[in-house]
Amino acid sequence: MTKEQLATIEEVAQEFFSQLEVVGDMDVTSPAENTASIALTIENPGMIIGENGQTLLEIQHLLRRILQKRMNMQLPPQVALDVNNYRKAKEEYLRTMAKEAADEVLLLKKTKELPPMSSFERRVVHEEIGKREGLSSESIGEGEDRRVVIKVRSL
């Protein structure tokens, strides 16, 4: 992302959270090309995070759509919103869970189905399983019931 694009993202995010009367510290960075990371530190993160991070994902989606219009882009920019390091902690938890599930699948040579997850959560699990030799993963199910299945890769 360019400096101008990051400045626009920060301006839009500041305006958005100001309208919600959310006060805190914000740090906007670009960890990868075409990706912006918004780290927000606030006193009452629960109202922004929501149950299982659902509100956080919805706010992130809204910000992407607002930015798409404001920046006059065909596709919305990739934006990762994190509040009080919730997303980071969630990702670490998912990676640990995926590693433990992978160990179990390799040990028992038996397919393991994980609980339903959001697309972000499934992506983290797929990335982690992709690092393991002899395993594969796929998403099954529809909507809120979509989950990851881990299995021993056939030779």
Residue 125 neighbours by CB distance under 10 Å: 23
In the chain the domains, ranked by start, together with CATH numbers, are 3-84 (3.30.300.20), 89-152 (3.30.1370.50)
Q: How far is CA 152 from the centre of its chain?
A: 26
**Cα–Cα distance between 24 and 131 in angstroms, integer?**
37
Residues 148, 136 contacting (CB under 8 angstroms): no
Pairing label, strands 78-83, 35-42: parallel
Q: Which of 94, 95, 145, 127 is nearest to 137 (CA)?
A: 127
Interhelix angle 119-130/86-108, nearest 10 degrees: 50
Which pTM was predicted? 0.80
Residues forming beta bridges with residue 40, ordered by sequence position: 26, 83
Residues ≥6 apart with Cβ < 8 Å to 102: 128, 129, 132, 135, 150
**Which residue type, as a one-letter code, is found at position 111?**
T
Tens-level pLDDT at each residue, the chain (155 residues): 788 888 999 999 999 999 999 999 999 999 888 889 999 999 999 999 998 888 999 999 999 999 989 988 887 788 999 999 999 999 999 999 999 999 999 999 999 999 999 888 999 999 999 999 999 999 999 998 999 999 998 75
- In this structure, what token pair is assigned to residue 137? 């993963």
